[in-house]
Chains A and B, each alone.
Chain A
């Protein structure tokens, strides 16, 4: 029987990768567990093992091939009793076997990075308005969010020698999600500091260093682990300026991936936007695009206040246009109108926008003209931009991966009814994560998260269509 060797996935969110190397050639005998190939994405490499004994009958994907889809057949193995020549992709009876994979560099169990997502590949293009903060005629380069974040940190570290980064695996490993790639090599281990797994301790240590005049960037491998450190973030970082009558400063950035990833279950899938947005004394930023990630992280590092910088694992590998400006710094506290429209306003942030963009493509076909706002900063909320839009469209839907109770949408709805009550033609609707811990099972997980369909439904409801 011929066995198909399939392109494996490095992580729950990976969709494609590069086949970097074959360790076998046609005719080689392999045993189950032998390393037969290497694959990689922009952040990790992994060895591919044979799942069965046999002889390599055919190599279907040459080494060096990029964008090989997960589950694509990359080779065929002939069974032990089989003649090699008999093995054939189409005719022989086959058995699909995704190879066993062995974690290689960059792999962290349940702390794994996302690559290109399904929604992204399938999404019809929605024309996104250019950022008014970027001067017209600016040249752009294509960059992933991951690269943009790295560049932001590197630029700020070059600019100010008081800036340093600390966290788990940020230095030698170059980041569990490869966001700090290359920083150790450029800045050395004085300024790129691997910590023990000790969130409460190093968050507090960072706050103390900030109070003493340094400008720490504290990376949490994910914000799920920052719950261990939340006392230091809130009681020490956020409140000390006020409690000292303005004497003490705490210029610190806490950053890392936030929100549901993919198939990592409840403890590793949580959006903390509203948790931190609740706290006076903090600034909370949650960018969507690579340009915003870069411009706002640079602003966050320069800001004299504690900043919670919520990144998104699924967006790390997504590419965007980033302006080719020497010092691309964006204003904190300003939302961005991503698309102008006249019928209804959708407000969202971070990965929530992917559902909105999918929905808008569909709504356009049905003749509903949506205005889309990316909050970018969660605290302070740019209510002015939202109110202005609502006064134009008279309808509002909020979309977030946070839970509904006391979420960002709840806050926006309260503010809008207070400040634009007479302009509203329909109740404000919220699309959120369902009010349950995020389940593991693929179908339940999908049900628990917001979807483009739900956004479409909500928009139609407020438009009475």
Chain B
């Protein structure tokens, strides 16, 4: 990292130029991109449906927050980053893990609290990590991942490694004070971090209108001079476009960027939430008109890139992957009792 104070001094004081959105709608995907996005999103959806079932069977304990409905956000963003870029998020994290390439078996086995889980069964749904895939968690305290992601970006600047950190958080976390402490430092020190606000309209049971004085969360960085934009988070192509703009901006050393993903979760906040705070019609309307997977499916059929049979085949393959994960998650043994005492502290290197 170059000197922090000189960066601060040379910082532009006026509002920055916002990256231009295309007027013709999102950039079209190639056939390969559409198919890839379809598979990725479908994997998350089927995985989450299975997790929901297993929770109902008592195989998964505690809190379990499903990502169903929001799949386009992580899939589109992942298409915008490069190998080596980092990802960090809160507790609705299964989709983020799958999309970074983490093994569904290891993720599901962590949900069931088994030895074969990513955290050896010691973390659970909200606390999983993969150094190999640059996934930094999986954090259970609302908003706590925001300073952490900013710190990862600080390390990127310090090491001058050209990496960008995607820091995801929800519309609920957007009201935490530490988010703004992070915004301030990220802009002050020009840190390469994309803040991806997944606005699914509800902070647990409280709608954004009832919790936020400024409901346009893309403006939340305005007083720090951080550019922001609202994105159709149900359209994977729009997400990738915006992601590329944001990532390029950060990687070129201009500092942080905010993307507010307008998205929707079909399920309750967690498995124990019946979601009585919103009308069933609202959910049904979103599913019928904006489903991120259905949008891609229709395009694939329309362009005749895939037939119904091809799609069924993909569905079958994904189901097989998810079933395999579910089986592994049930057959993997519980952690050895000796694991109780391991991993509290690291051993000091000799």
A interface list, Cβ under 8 A from B: 164, 188-190, 193-196, 198, 200-214, 231-232, 235-236, 240-249, 280-281, 283, 302-305, 332
With a cutoff of 8 Å between Cβ atoms, the chain B residues found around residue A332 in the complex are 348
Q: Which residues, 100 to 152 on B, are CB-close (under 8 Å) to A?
A: 117-123, 127-131, 136-141, 144, 146-152
Query: Whole-angstrom distance from the CB of A144 to the nearest CB of chain B?
Result: 28
Inter-subunit contact B2/A190 (CB<8 Å): yes
**How many of chain B's residues touch chain A, expressed as a range?**
35 or more
Assess whether B158 is interfacial by the CB under 8 Å rule: yes
B147 touches A205 (CB 8 A): yes
Residue pair A211, B136 in contact (C-beta under 8 Å):
yes
Whether the Cβ atoms of A198 and B181 lie closer than 8 Å is yes
Q: A243 near B188 (CB under 8 angstroms)?
A: no
Name the 8 nearest CB pairs between A and B, nearest first: A208-B151, A204-B147, A201-B181, A245-B120, A212-B155, A208-B148, A246-B343, A304-B346
A-B contact pairs, 9 of them (CB 8 A): A189-B3, A189-B5, A198-B185, A204-B178, A209-B158, A214-B158, A231-B141, A236-B141, A281-B344
Contact A204 B146 (CB under 8 A): yes
Question: By CB atoms of chain A within 10 A, which of B129, B146, B345, B346 has the most?
Answer: B345
Question: Bound state CA distance, A158 and B163, in angstroms?
Answer: 26
Chain A residues, CB < 8 A from B19: none
Residue from B1, B3, B151 within 8 A of A210 (CB atoms)? B151
Q: Are A196 and B188 in contact (CB under 8 A)?
A: yes
| In the bound complex, CA of A283 to CA of B140 (Å) | 23
Q: Are A207 and B147 in contact (CB under 8 A)?
A: yes
Q: How far is the CB of A303 from chain B (nearest CB, A)?
A: 6
Contact between A242 and B147, CB atoms less than 8 A apart:
no
Binary flags per residue of B182-195, CB closer than 8 Å to A gives 1, else 0: 10110010000000
Q: State whether A305 touches B185 (Cβ < 8 A).
A: no
Residues of B contacting A200 in the complex (Cβ-Cβ under 8 angstroms)? 147, 177-178, 181
CB distance from A388 to the nearest CB of B (A): 24
Given the contacts A190-B2, A190-B3, A236-B144, A242 and B344 also touching, CB distance less than 8 Å: yes
Please pick, from B121, B147, B153, B343, the residue contacting A232 in the complex, using a CB distance under 8 A.
B147
Q: For B212, list chain A residues within 8 Å (CB).
A: none
Bound together, the chains give a CA A303 to CA B345 distance in angstroms of 10
Q: Are B131 and A202 in contact (CB under 8 A)?
A: no
- A248 near B131 with CB under 8 A, answer yes
The chain A residue with its CB closest to the CB of B115 is: A245
Nearest-neighbour CB distance to chain B for A222, whole angstroms, equals 19
A188→B6 CA distance, assembly (Å): 11
Candidate in B4, B130, B159, B342 with the most chain A CB atoms within 10 angstroms: B4
Residue with the greatest number of chain B CB neighbours at <10 A, chosen from A241, A245, A304: A245
B259-278 near A? 1/0 per residue, CB < 8 Å: 00000000000000000000
Contacts of A302 in B (CB 8 A): 348
Asked, given contacts A214-B155, A245-B120, A247-B119, whether A232 binds B184 with beta carbons under 8 Å apart, the answer is no
Measured CB to CB, the nearest residue on chain B to A198 is B181
Q: Determine if B70 is an interface residue (Cβ-Cβ < 8 Å).
A: no
B345 and A206 form a contact (CB under 8 A)? no
When the two chains form the complex, which single residue of B5, B128, B155, B177 contacts A213, counting CB atoms closer than 8 Å? B155
A204 touches B182 (CB 8 A): yes
Name the B residues within 8 Å of A190 (CB-CB): 1-4, 158
Is B349 interfacial (CB-CB < 8 Å)?
A: yes
Which residues from chain A contact B345 at a C-beta distance below 8 Å?
241, 281, 283, 305
**Contact of B130 (CB < 8 Å), options: A236, A247, A281, A305:** A247
With A243-B129, A244-B122 given, name 13 new contacts (CB 8 A): A190-B3, A204-B147, A204-B151, A204-B182, A205-B147, A206-B151, A207-B148, A208-B148, A209-B158, A214-B159, A242-B122, A243-B138, A244-B128
Taking CB atoms, residues of chain B closer than 8 Å to A202 are: 147, 181, 185
Q: Is the CB of A205 within 8 A of B346?
A: no
Tell me if B86 counts as interface (CB < 8 A to partner A): yes
- B156 within 8 Å of A (CB atoms): yes
- The answer to whether B344 and A201 have CB atoms under 8 Å apart is no
Give the distance in Å from the alpha carbon of A213 to the alpha carbon of B4 in the complex.
19
B154 within 8 A of A: yes
Q: A235-B144, A247-B119, A305-B345 are in contact. Are A205 and B182 (CB under 8 A)?
A: yes
Q: Is the CB of A205 within 8 A of B144?
A: no
Q: Which residues of B contact A208 (CB under 8 A)?
A: 88, 136, 147-155
Q: Which of A231, A243, A281, A304 contacts B144 (CB 8 A)?
A: A231
A240 to B141, CA, bound (A): 12
Q: Which of B1-42 contact A (CB under 8 A)?
A: 1-6
Chain B residues with CB under 8 Å of A235's CB are 140-141, 144
Would A246 and B150 count as touching, CB distance under 8 A? no
A245 pairs with B343, CB closer than 8 A: yes
Which residues of chain A are within 8 angstroms of B153 by Cβ–Cβ distance? 208
CB atoms of B127 and A280 under 8 A apart = no
CA distance A214 to B129 in the complex (A): 18
A211 adjacent to B152 (CB under 8 Å): yes
The smallest C-beta distance from B267 to any residue of chain A, in angstroms, reads 24
Closest to A184 in B: B5
Cα-based distance from A214 to B5 in the complex (angstroms): 20
Quick one: which of B311-349 are within 8 Å of A by CB? 342-349
Residues of A within 8 A of B136 (CB): 208, 211-212, 248
The reply to whether B342 and A195 form a contact with Cβ atoms under 8 Å apart is: no
Instruction: Report if A242-B343 is in contact (Cβ < 8 Å); known contacts: A209-B158, A214-B158, A248-B131.
Output: yes
Instruction: Say which residue of A209, A244, A304 sits within 8 Å of B154 (CB atoms).
Output: A209
Expressed in whole angstroms, the Cα–Cα distance for A208 and B123 within the complex equals 18
Chain B nearest CB: distance from A192 CB in Å? 9
Q: What B residues does A243 contact at CB under 8 A?
A: 119, 122-123, 127, 129, 138
Tell me, in angstroms, the Cα distance from A305 to B86 when the chains sit together: 22
B305 → chain A closest CB, angstroms? 39
Residues of B near A247 (CB, < 8 A) are 118-119, 129-131
Bound Cα distance A305, B347 (Å): 9
Q: Please give, as numbers and ranges, the residues of chain B lying within 8 Å of A242 by CB-CB distance.
A: 122, 343-344
CB distance from A299 to the nearest CB of B (A): 9
Q: A232-B144, A236-B144 are in contact. Are A204 and B150 (CB under 8 A)?
A: yes
Nearest A-chain residue to B139, judged by Cβ: A236
In the bound assembly, the distance between CA atoms of A206 and B349 in angstroms comes to 22
The residues of B that contact A195 with a CB separation of less than 8 Å are 185
Query: In the complex, are the beta carbons of B156 and A212 less than 8 A apart?
Result: yes
Most buried by A among B118, B182, B347: B182
Contact B122–A245 (Cβ < 8 Å) = yes
Q: Which residues of B contact A196 (CB under 8 A)?
A: 181, 184-185, 188
Measured in the bound complex, the distance between the Cα atoms of B4 and A189 in whole Å is 6
Q: Please give me the residue from chain A that is nearest to B2 by CB atom.
A: A190
B151 touches A205 (CB 8 A): yes
Contact B151 A207 (CB under 8 A): yes
